[in-house]
Structure 1
């Protein structure tokens, strides 16, 4: 059984050495990527400001949030991914929380993602998959679905994590392990990474000097699950922080399910005060009017003010929701204006998940695609999120970019 070993100083410095640019005495480093992005920026005041900070030593900042660690180069939700994120100055780290067959909490982006994020299909546990591997055939893509709820904690910890990927053309389970996006790298995934439970993530993040943003994931199984209710699930997440002696002020618990946020507000008010409502209402539809207008907050129910009146203090939409284009520049969207007017703190997700931006940036940049044409626009968008939308923090798949910006701007 694979056991988590919280990396000591020697191993942490070894990882930092892989990113040797601008390291400070705590081993924090920007690496080369922020400087690469600056080189791609259009000339102007923002580029001049960022370039003026090239000699600064990196400092940890709560504005920089590790999205599943640093999955641009490391298998997500692993020790290695989060160590890398912490050494890039991420002040908050994320464990997406789901549960196993024996109702133990573990770090996975989804309860049913084991086929794409671990080696389960080529292990003895493949027989537990709810949808066994099916080879690509004709127009049918290869597929499989494997859930943490079908295996015990001990079995879960025997798995080896990998870069989140699958090969839709695969004819064997071994081939299905491939398919890593071209803009990601397996350079740091050649050696087995260390999978984590939620409790182990708490210890690791604290040892790394970071704070916590666990996300309570929607279950793939029907709830209650073997007597385990949604309320018990939400409470267990909080209880693991309390058992570890972590103050509520260090935790930003997240959920896409507003009822989870309401549960924490009512039953764990100290944790509820910083609970983050992950807003996917842009996907909602009205029976009479069809898809709600994602840029018109008046169509959203509940309204921003109603959320605030419930006791919600933090709201986190995808980053494109908070920006629009006016006179050729990125500016705050009506959504961002409405949230700020209601006193809601905004958190954005997720920077550096789009790959190269020479084609407009895709889904995460959809509201500003027309003014995005170079990788330097990662900084352009980040600046607009800060100065226009007034966000309190930004999730990133490579936190050094956000850390550099925040340090340079004195956030």
Structure 2
């Protein structure tokens, strides 16, 4: 009875139509039957549902608006990708040098002039593509704050700034891009606290030589990110730092062990020549070496964790099974980054592409990741999809 009352007192998630559309689109069978039984709700936030950059399927990523949307859709953990400005202030951006594709900087001549690589148009006669490179480290925090976030994308065939900025993929939308309030890391902490969710900041690999500006080292950057949680008294148990660099986790384990124990190593080794998620000899470092280094949580992309068996069923990969056998906790990324799935889903479905044909197949993959691989959480560009599944299957 007490548990029921506690559940009723929690804010309910607002999922919108998409999860129900995906369930309806599933092929008839046990999974569809199981998920259909949950349609009446209620739905509550779940830590299994991790907001990847907020809700960038339809909102400009790493903006206040995207974070509010992700929280309303029941994400129990939210992400700020952390990088730094020219004056060493931490801000939320997916890449230190993505301002030209994810903000309106090119439409602001005074700030565009500060970009590392100013805009140059495409030249159809020679085949040269349009390009620009604008970094947070090109701007002070005060300058950064004047920008507006937009849907991430660029038209590389553009011959004007306006054309270049008009690069949103057709299966996303600019409907909610009229506003895009950029966030500092500190502001994201305060906002997420107000939502009552947990934190998963990603320490982005700098795109400028380190030490930056003489004495700003990688360790100083890593420490500064943790310090901003300590300054406002956030419990380390509620913070799940991420990085693609094992050296950052080793630093945190030594300097900030309570935070380091919570850290996730983001794994993109499948981009390296020779990697095969079914062949252990291609995994360098090995699962044992990662565990021996003190790593507790590994975060590979979705295609690294699944494969097809002889009957074309989606099953855990050898990589996934070995990680679990080594005692590593798994989370994965990123659901809802692949459009309609009518084309097989692109990179995020690359190891199971022959059996991916339509939107409802999103839940086929998610079900295998949750039940058979045993991931502890899934990053999604539209958290409602994962929140629906988590509530329906009892994943808190």
TM bucket, shorter chain: over 0.9
More deviation, 274-283/69-78:
274-283
Say yes or no: does 1:47 pair with 2:40. Answer: no
Instruction: Determine which of 374, 381, 384 is the counterpart of 1:397.
Output: 381
The 3 A distance-change label for structure 1 pair 186 and 27 is farther
Asked whether the equivalents of residues 114 and 145 of structure 1 are also in contact (C-alpha less than 8 Å), the reply is yes
Q: CA RMSD in A?
A: 1.3
Deviation at 1:27, TM superposition (A): 5.0
Cα deviation digits, residues 123-159 of structure 1 (max 9, x gap):
1200111111010112111110001111100000011
Determine the C-alpha separation between the residues in 1 that align with 2:48 and 2:275. Answer: 30
Helix, strand or coil for the counterpart of 2:373? coil
Determine the C-alpha separation between the residues in 2 that align with 1:166 and 1:30. Answer: 30
- Match for residue 121 of structure 2? 135
Deviation at 1:298, TM superposition (A): 3.1
Determine the C-alpha separation between the residues in 2 that align with 1:374 and 1:119. Answer: 34
Cα deviation digits, residues 196-244 of structure 1 (max 9, x gap):
0000000001101111000000111000001100000000000000001
- Match for residue 151 of structure 1? 139
Determine the C-alpha separation between the residues in 1 that align with 2:148 and 2:27. Answer: 42
Determine the C-alpha separation between the residues in 2 that align with 1:27 and 1:338. Answer: 37
- Match for residue 244 of structure 2? 256
Cα deviation digits, residues 62-94 of structure 1 (max 9, x gap):
000000000011000000101100000000000
Helix, strand or coil for the counterpart of 2:113? helix
Determine the C-alpha separation between the residues in 1 that align with 2:245 and 2:308. Answer: 30
Helix, strand or coil for the counterpart of 1:128? coil
The 3 A distance-change label for structure 1 pair 198 and 34 is same
Say yes or no: does 1:382 pair with 2:366. Answer: yes
Determine the C-alpha separation between the residues in 1 that align with 2:172 and 2:217. Answer: 37
- Match for residue 225 of structure 2? 237
- Match for residue 307 of structure 1? 290
Say yes or no: does 1:167 pair with 2:152. Answer: no
Deviation at 1:267, TM superposition (A): 1.1
Asked whether the equivalents of residues 112 and 147 of structure 1 are also in contact (C-alpha less than 8 Å), the reply is yes
Instruction: Give the total of aligned pairs.
Output: 383
Asked whether the equivalents of residues 95 and 214 of structure 1 are also in contact (C-alpha less than 8 Å), the reply is yes
Deviation at 1:284, TM superposition (A): 2.9
Determine the C-alpha separation between the residues in 2 that align with 1:261 and 1:406. Answer: 29
Determine the C-alpha separation between the residues in 2 that align with 1:329 and 1:67. Answer: 27
- Match for residue 57 of structure 2? 72
- Match for residue 6 of structure 1? none
Which ranges of structure 1 fall in alignment gaps of 5 or more residues?
A: 1-22, 286-290
Determine the C-alpha separation between the residues in 1 that align with 2:154 and 2:188. Answer: 26
1:2-81 to structure 2, matched below 5 A, reads 26=11, 28-81=13-66
- Match for residue 223 of structure 1? 210
Asked whether the equivalents of residues 12 and 45 of structure 2 are also in contact (C-alpha less than 8 Å), the reply is no
Asked whether the equivalents of residues 24 and 57 of structure 1 are also in contact (C-alpha less than 8 Å), the reply is no
| Ranges of 4+ aligned residues in structure 1 off by more than 6 Å | none
Cα deviation digits, residues 2-38 of structure 1 (max 9, x gap):
xxxxxxxxxxxxxxxxxxxxx9972521100001101
Deviation at 1:182, TM superposition (A): 0.9
Which ranges of structure 2 fall in alignment gaps of 5 or more residues?
A: 1-7
TM-score by length of 1: 0.91
Helix, strand or coil for the counterpart of 2:387? helix
TM-score by length of 2: 0.95
Deviation at 1:168, TM superposition (A): 1.4
Determine the C-alpha separation between the residues in 2 that align with 1:24 and 1:156. Answer: 39
Helix, strand or coil for the counterpart of 2:320? helix
